[in-house]
Structure 1
């Protein structure tokens, strides 16, 4: 039985504070004062009889109890929102599906799947957002997102989440056509003097890239830029001698067109799992099942990554 003292405002304030890690930021989103937001969180903790946040650090962090409450309260709020939408949208029965997509799946896989999903679910509004892995996974846990498509996170990130594998994908080191490293047999040993464009620390592939560089005596401090943005990375690489370490799926179209070239790395950067992350305790809706099927079919239609077109 739900304690009758818990109100929607308690849940909204808690979920926003957990997502943003800041009472002032949550207060801004909710359009209330910071003291009011702080009082609301205290009321909820008093009702539950447990602290939900660790306040010893500058950024509010969830306690173990808080993480459990976030998972289930987020799911409950999402279902309540869905129930309201279904009732208010009658008779059109418009539904909504929110998906977070990492850059590696945003260029080819997700657009194909989205178009196929539209054909099979014409009354569902598909909302696609991008962002760093840590943010998308946080939004997934609190039910702001229904699914996340991209690389599998580490064990801590995947806590209370499940992963549906679609394929494996390599990380590439890409340069402009005509770059002097293209014909080098061991390009990793010849990086000194070239500006490096690396994935930022929050990116899933960042530890893999930095481990590779370390094995070849290259420190990440020598990087000139950090980004996984296709628009930024493509322009920087095409306009300079920069070497960009990025998931091959992000630049697949550019590699096919020859506007970017991949350096020969051999087996230095083996493929990592790409797939769909979802809440492990959730019941899949018809829309979620339909999008998963569309993603599986889109992956089948795409040629294996890393192979040249005939």
Structure 2
């Protein structure tokens, strides 16, 4: 690929020659020899396959292609300089905090590994993880109480002033303790009404999915229900009683892997929803936030590669 062959020395030499309109002056500015500048410019032209300067003039004049390339070359150097300055500033400022809002499912599935990788970057930043329901997370983010969030995309009204970057998709899971009577041979889901069901409350991001599942399973109004978004309570209650728990798959994936909870044979394929990074539109991010988001993207990519569930 062409971009992989272009080095910083190519860009800096090109921009200086264009700025000073002289190879000699550019060489002085860059503290290198004039032949070195000329050679670097020729290399860049060979890589791009075009002439960047019109050599029919006595002075150094940009060609049409040179004018086009200058806009992007200058922007690239400026971005690199800003990046270096940001790192230097972060190092001077010392320890800082990156505040991350996250759904419980993301806190269980993606964040632990992402935080581990982030801490290995040695930037002296302390992660602060705030777990809440999606509505609370979006409100805190909009109020500036969070640097960014990892959650589900909300309704258009709730996303005003925010930007969403889709990372992976996740479905709802219907689980119970490993030895639950519904897993007995011959047991059917028709007896679901015999048990307490933990359901996300109205207003939570997967409440409607949970209600639709219960309707599909013909669970009537006599259902004994507990409304909760607490992963801690849900796990404790579902593993010590015969309650059924409807939750984000990411909240229970570890319990399923450990064998303490099992999924009931309920088709939840139509409950997939997008999870991703949410930021305030146009708001600058700290170096710590950028690095944490990069770690989350990396881990989320591995979740996608394993197959979204």
Asked if the contact 1:163–1:277 (Cα under 8 Å) also holds between the matched residues in 2, the reply is yes
What is the root-mean-square deviation in Å for CA atoms of aligned residues?
Answer: 2.6
Q: CA deviation at 1:221?
A: 7.0
**Deviation at residue 139 of structure 1 after TM alignment:** 1.0
Q: 1:113-166: CA deviations, max 9, x gaps?
A: 111112225321221111222221111011111111122212221121111111
CA offset at residue 108 of structure 1?
2.7
For 1:120, what is the secondary structure of its paired residue?
A: coil
Conserved? CA contact 2:193–2:224, under 8 Å: no
Q: Which has the larger radius of gyration?
A: 2
State the secondary structure of the residue aligned to 1:192. helix
Distance 1:180 1:295, change over 3 A: same
Change (3 A) 1:129 1:188: same
Q: CA distance change for structure 1 residues 90 and 171 in 2, over 3 Å: closer, same or farther?
A: closer
CA deviation profile, 1:93-123 (whole Å, cap 9, x unmatched)? 3232111111011113111111111222532
Aligned position for 1:236: 237
Query: Are 2:275 and 1:304 aligned?
Result: no
d(CA) in 1 for partners of 2:236, 2:150: 25
Which structure: greater helix fraction? Answer: 2
Match of 2:138 in 1: 137
Q: Deviations over 1:25-55 (max 9, x none)?
A: xxxxxxxxxxxxxxxxxxxxxxxxxxxxxxx
Say if 1:172 and 1:187 are closer, same or farther in 2 by CA, change over 3 A: farther
1:194–1:98 distance in 2 versus 1, CA, 3 Å: same
SS of the aligned residue for 2:293 comes to helix
TM-score w.r.t. length of structure 1? 0.64
Q: Structure 2: state its 5+ residue gaps.
A: 1-87
| Residue in structure 2 matched with residue 175 of structure 1 by the alignment | 176
Runs of 4+ residues deviating >6 angstroms: none
The number of aligned residues is 220
Shift in Å at residue 204 of structure 1?
Answer: 1.0
- What residue is the counterpart of 1:32 in the other structure? none
- 1:231-277 Cα distance to aligned partner (Å, 9 max, x none): 21122112221110000100111100111000111245431111111
Structure 1 position 187, deviation (Å):
5.5
Shift of 1:211: 2.3
Deviates more, 1:226-235 or 1:272-281: 226-235
Deviates more, 1:248-257 or 1:284-293: 284-293
Q: Is the 8 A contact 2:195 2:224 kept in 1?
A: no
Structure 1: gaps of 5 or more residues: 1-85
User: SS state of the match for residue 156, structure 2?
Assistant: coil
Identify the residue that residue 96 of structure 1 maps to in structure 2.
97
- Superposition map of 1:113-132 within 5 A: 113-132=114-133
Rate the CA distance shift 1:139–1:260 in 2: closer, same or farther, 3 A. Answer: same
